[in-house]
Chain A
């Protein structure tokens, strides 16, 4: 029996291959951001949901990251397919920031095999105006600007869309590293890099 969540719960996907827990501070940081900027009822701590479990269907938004090669099990593929068919929003971030890296190659292959083709998301998409306005599309990360990973500043995010709705949002920008700090650190920053997470989550919950 699937229960209905009235409070937004930040869910991190746990998959059997790779290192799903490579960015353990991201959930708390994003929860803090959601609480700061929005009035969305939000649970104070995130949950870890196995990608191959029925529990996946309890959450409208699921975050997935990692460095290592990704190979979904048959059950994980089946549940992910059900998840997006039921309107779920999966946000995948390449923690390597490397389009030639193991995570990117394998995760893209798995997503395209399981859900559908990933296409560049236009930078004037509603996602970039869902809460804060990002005129130039996805905000760059310090890892891109510092030349880590593939030494590229990625112009677009990728997405699997169905009927105009984003079902899988894929990033090579390494938001996992950019957001992987304790929420209290935010007060030291002149610009909060986690604001883009508000757009992603608000878009996921309202479209």
Chain B
């Protein structure tokens, strides 16, 4: 930086503190310049950033992108943050340097004529301010700050102004891109592009629907419809104000329709076809589409009430009551019962048909069909088969009549020879409810027997006691099965390995826990290594100990009962009962329906937070099928078109709706959107809903790779 031009002036009396005061003013001025410079640089950086983002957005839109990932708010936020960062950097770099001593040095650098007098005067340790004041007064440097300010601020100011200017000019360019895209959308060849007149013969159209006479439905008038839904065969009249000049033309598909003019109105009439189609109306002012949506007349529904099932009769005589319910959406005309009798055997069959119970219903929507099938009158004989069904017709004289029939019921007359060949399949007898037998019940019976012992004969005592012993053995085997089930063997293990079942197994008697342990290890495939579970017990013994005790006590009780000594058996039976109770109360046994209720302290558990969780790999959306993509594209184009020409957009939606007849929900949504646009109301919600229906899973963007987690 070159030194500014500094002139010399004549010596004047100078106050001793004047140079230092001026130095302080210079310092403050430099602080101010620094702040302003920081602000200008910040503005330039912020505006430049915002401008770059907008330029990128314009380029994105020009390249065909549909939606810029960053919103305006986000872009402004980024710009502001960058501006603040630049300001902070500038201030942080410069302000700490602007001390009095360094400012004095800077002034000395700019004005060499001071010969370090200012630095010396500014140093309080030198104490030379008063002495050097006259000398400093001779070298003016007041212009120094102004010159430096201009140089420091000019560049940042130009940059800030330029960035702001570009930023304000960009939106116009962006709007032009949007307009161009909208124009592109309207030129899509797959979308009908009639323009909707806001006035003229097509502005206010009225549709009058006259349903077929048989339906009994009332005449219907629709003002300005987008869709006309009516019964097939209905007369549909479309009318509007007749133009002063030119003519209205109408066509349904490829077929031209006659347009009549009367009473200052034009009218065209056609019958509701069986398939949906578009009526295209055109006039000098534009064109308009109206969708004709046929509603078919359903055939009657007939349901048999009686007889409920097919049946076989022993005798070819008697009267069978028949009843059925018939319903129709518009009205029933008549009903009857049809019967077929087939006779014969082998390859020789004859069939007779007939009807009965004919009835007229006069347009009622529901009716009960009743008849009596007289087998004697039908002259059926053994081996014949009678088929019966109810039928009903509706009053449709346009596309019908519709005929509905019930399912066919079959009534067979048995042959005499069938009675000597009845068979049945043997089934297993129902299992005895073994729950009736319990240790408590046996104990009560033993106690009663002991109480009667003095009054009964010896033989009766022996018989009763042995009966109890047999029941005790049965119960013991059940406990043994339970133990063995827990040990992993099959239910018959106890029978195969345990005494008391009447088989000769050699040394029969009480169960040894060590033996059980060995069996458990063998059953579970374990080796000789014993797992500690509770003290020095194995899990098997620990779990089953109460049941094993019960088993052994039962064995003792049974042995006493076998020798007709019920008094000695009772203590063992009580101990067995007590052991069973303990088994029920043991850790692994809970009464059915009453498991332990543990309430987890979720908050306490959550203090540990997430430990080693990892995001799972996500798979991208399946690509939409080409037809759905095409519908979505046309729907998008219609949505864009709706901003500029709601009428044309409504027509496009009606074309889409015609093709979406298989999807009633989408059809109704498109219809609602078209109606909204016709009425000049926003249809954003309906269009968004239609978009979701067209592509339920969203559209997979080809540019995005599958997300693979963090």
| A and B together in one complex | yes
Contacts of A200 in B (CB 8 A): none
The residue on A at minimum CB distance from B588 is: A22
User: In the complex, are the beta carbons of A126 and B616 less than 8 A apart?
Assistant: yes
Does A118 reach chain B (CB closer than 8 Å)? no
Q: Are B595 and A21 in contact (CB under 8 A)?
A: yes
Is A130 on the interface with B (CB-CB < 8 A)? yes
Residue among B531, B597, B600, B610 with most chain A CB within 10 A: B600
Chain A residues contacting B531 (CB-CB under 8 Å) are 146
Chain A 89-125, CB within 8 Å of chain B: the 1/0 string?
0000000101001000000000000000000000000
* B67 interface contact, C-beta 8 A: no
Residue of B with least CB distance to A10: B600
Q: Are B595 and A36 in contact (CB under 8 A)?
A: no
**A25: contacting residue among B598, B599, B602, B611, CB under 8 A:** B598
Residue of A nearest to B607 (CB): A36
Whole-angstrom distance from the CB of B395 to the nearest CB of chain A?
A: 41
| Residue of A whose beta carbon sits closest to that of B606 | A35
Contact B592 A21 (CB under 8 A): yes
- Report the interface size for chain A: residues with CB under 8 A from the other chain: 39
Q: A28-B598, A44-B601, A44-B602 are in contact. Are A36 and B524 (CB under 8 A)?
A: no
Q: How far is the CA of A37 from the CA of B601 in the complex (A)?
A: 14
Partner of B488 from A27, A39, A149 at Cβ < 8 Å: A149
Is the Cβ of B598 less than 8 Å from the Cβ of A36? no
Say whether B524 contacts A147, CB under 8 Å. Answer: yes
B526 at the interface (CB under 8 A from A): yes
Find chain B residues with CB under 8 A from A25 CB.
Answer: 596, 598
Q: Known: A21-B590, A126-B617, A130-B616. Contact between A36 and B596, CB under 8 A? A: no
A133 at the interface (CB under 8 A from B): yes
Q: Taking the complex as formed, is A151 at the interface, i.e. its CB lies under 8 A from any CB of chain B?
A: yes
Q: Say which residue of B590, B600, B613 sits within 8 Å of A38 (CB atoms).
A: B613
Is B525 engaged at the interface, CB distance under 8 Å to the other chain?
A: yes
Tell me whether B485 is interfacial, beta carbon within 8 Å: yes
Contacts of B527 in A (CB 8 A): 147
- Please, how many angstroms separate the alpha-carbon atoms of A11 and B605 in the complex? 20
Tell whether B612 is near chain A: CB-to-CB under 8 Å.
yes
CA distance A148 to B595 in the complex (A): 25
B484-501 interface mask toward A, CB cutoff 8 Å, 1 = contact, 0 = none? 010010000000000000
Contact A36 B590 (CB under 8 A): no
Which residues from B are CB-within-8-Å of A22? 588
Measured in the bound complex, the distance between the Cα atoms of B485 and A148 in whole Å is 14
Residue pair B614, A133 in contact (C-beta under 8 Å): yes
- Is B608 at the interface (CB under 8 A from chain A)? yes
Asked if residues B617 and A36 are in contact (CB atoms below 8 Å), the reply is no
Give per-residue flags for B572-611: 1 if the beta carbon is below 8 A from chain A beta carbons, else 0.
0000000000000000101011011111111001101011
B614 adjacent to A183 (CB under 8 Å): no
Determine if A76 is an interface residue (Cβ-Cβ < 8 Å). Answer: no
Residues of B within 8 A of A153 (CB): none
Q: B613 contacts A132, CB within 8 Å?
A: yes
Task: Pick the residue among B525, B600, B611 that contacts A28 (CB under 8 A).
Answer: B600
Determine if A35 and B600 form an interchain contact, defined as CB atoms under 8 angstroms apart: yes
Q: B584 to nearest A CB, angstroms?
A: 13
Contact across chains for A45 and B598 when beta carbons are under 8 A apart: yes
For A32, the chain B residues whose CB sits under 8 A away are: 600, 602, 605
Residue A154, interface by CB 8 Å: no
Quick one: which of B80-115 are within 8 Å of A by CB? none
Among A36, A42, A68, point to the contact of B608 (Cβ < 8 A): A36
Measured CA separation A132–B592 after assembly (Å): 35
**Given A37-B610, A126-B617, are A48 and B602 also a contact pair (CB < 8 Å)?**
no
Query: Which chain A residues lie closer than 8 Å to B595 at the CB level?
Result: 12, 21, 24, 48
8 Å CB contact of B526 from A28, A35, A148: A148
Which residues of B lie under 8 Å from residue A68 when comparing CB positions? 485
CA of A146 to CA of B533 in the docked complex: distance in angstroms?
14
Query: For chain B residues 530-549, which have a beta carbon within 8 Å of chain A?
Result: 531
A39: chain B residues at CB < 8 Å are: 610
A77 within 8 A of B: no
A202 to B614 Cα, complex, angstroms: 12
Would you call B600 and A24 a contact (CB within 8 A)? no
Q: Which of A44, A67, A96, A147 contacts B600 (CB 8 A)?
A: A44
Q: Which residues of B contact A182 (CB under 8 A)?
A: 598
Let me know if A129 is at the binding interface, CB within 8 A: yes
Residues of chain B lying within 8 A (CB to CB) of residue A67: 485
Contact A45 B597 (CB under 8 A): yes
Chain A hits for B485, CB < 8 A: 67-68
A147-B616 contact, Cβ under 8 Å, with A21-B590, A44-B599, A183-B600: no
Give the docked Cα–Cα distance between A48 and B485 (Å).
25
B510 to chain A, nearest CB (A): 26
| Contact (Cβ within 8 A) B605 A35 | yes
Residues of chain A from 129 to 158 with CB closer than 8 A to chain B in the complex = 129-133, 146-149, 151
Q: Collect the chain B residues with CB atoms within 8 Å of residue A44's CB.
A: 599-602
Kindly state the separation between the CA atoms of A12 and B593 in the bound complex, as whole angstroms: 11
- Distance A183 CA – B598 CA, assembled complex (angstroms): 9
User: In the complex, A28 Cα to B612 Cα: how many Å?
Assistant: 21
Whether A183 lies near B605 (C-beta < 8 A) is yes
Which residue of B is nearest A19, CB measured?
Answer: B592
A58–B600 alpha-carbon span in the complex (Å): 21
List residues of chain B with CB within 8 A of the CB of A12.
595
- Chain B residues lying within 8 Å of A148, measured Cβ to Cβ, are 524-526
Q: Is A84 an interface residue (CB 8 A)?
A: no
Q: Are B616 and A36 interface neighbours, CB within 8 A?
A: no
How many angstroms between the C-alpha atoms of A139 and B583 in the bound complex?
33
Q: 1/0 per position for B464-505, CB-CB distance to A under 8 A?
A: 000000000000000000000100100000000000000000
Complex-state Cα separation, A33 to B524, whole angstroms: 30
Residues in chain A near residue B588, CB distance under 8 A: 22
B590 x A24 contact (CB < 8 A): yes
Interface members, chain A 13-32 (any B CB < 8 Å): 14, 21-22, 24-25, 27-28, 31-32
Report the minimal beta-carbon distance from B608 to chain A, rounded to whole angstroms: 5
- B residues near A28, Cβ cutoff 8 Å: 598-600
Contact pattern, A 159-203, Cβ under 8 Å of B = 1, otherwise 0: 000000000000000000000001100000000000000100010
Q: Is the CB of A129 within 8 A of B525?
A: no
Report the minimum CB–CB distance from A23 to chain B (whole Å). 9
Given A131-B613, A147-B524, A147-B525, check contact A31 B590 (CB 8 Å): no
State the CA gap A28–B601 with chains docked (Å).
10
The chain B residue sitting closest to A101, CB to CB, is: B488
Complex contact A31–B600 (CB within 8 A): yes
Instruction: Please determine whether A37 and B613 come into contact, CB atoms closer than 8 angstroms.
Output: yes
**Closest-CB distance, A114 to chain B (whole angstroms):** 23
Name B524's contact: one of A35, A149, A202 (CB within 8 Å).
A149
A88 to B346: give the CA distance in the assembly, Å: 54
A36 touches B611 (CB 8 A): yes
> Least Cβ distance of B11 to chain A in Å?
82
Cα-based distance from A21 to B611 in the complex (angstroms): 31
Query: What is the CB-to-nearest-CB distance from A7 to chain B, in angstroms, rounded to a whole number?
Result: 10
Task: Write the chain B residue with the least CB distance to A14.
Answer: B593
Nearest opposing residue in chain A for B603, CB measure: A35
In the bound complex, CA of A150 to CA of B485 (Å): 14
Contact A98 B488 (CB under 8 A): yes
Separation of A133 and B617 alpha carbons in the complex (Å): 11
Which of B525, B601, B608, B617 has the largest number of chain A CB atoms within 10 A?
Answer: B525
Specify which chain B residues have a CB less than 8 angstroms from the CB of A133 in the assembled complex: 614
Give the distance in Å from the alpha carbon of A58 to the alpha carbon of B268 in the complex.
Answer: 57
Smallest CB-CB A-B distances: 8 pairs? A28-B598, A35-B605, A24-B595, A151-B525, A35-B602, A31-B600, A21-B595, A32-B600
Given contacts A31-B602, A130-B616, 19 further A-B pairs with CB under 8 A are A24-B595, A25-B596, A28-B599, A35-B600, A35-B605, A36-B611, A38-B613, A42-B602, A44-B599, A48-B595, A126-B617, A129-B616, A133-B614, A146-B526, A147-B527, A148-B526, A149-B524, A182-B598, A183-B605
Interchain residue pairs with CB less than 8 A apart (11): A27-B598, A28-B599, A35-B605, A36-B608, A37-B613, A45-B597, A48-B593, A96-B488, A132-B613, A147-B526, A151-B524
Q: Interface residues, chain B, CB within 8 Å of chain A?
A: 485, 488, 524-527, 531, 588, 590, 592-593, 595-602, 605-606, 608, 610-614, 616-617
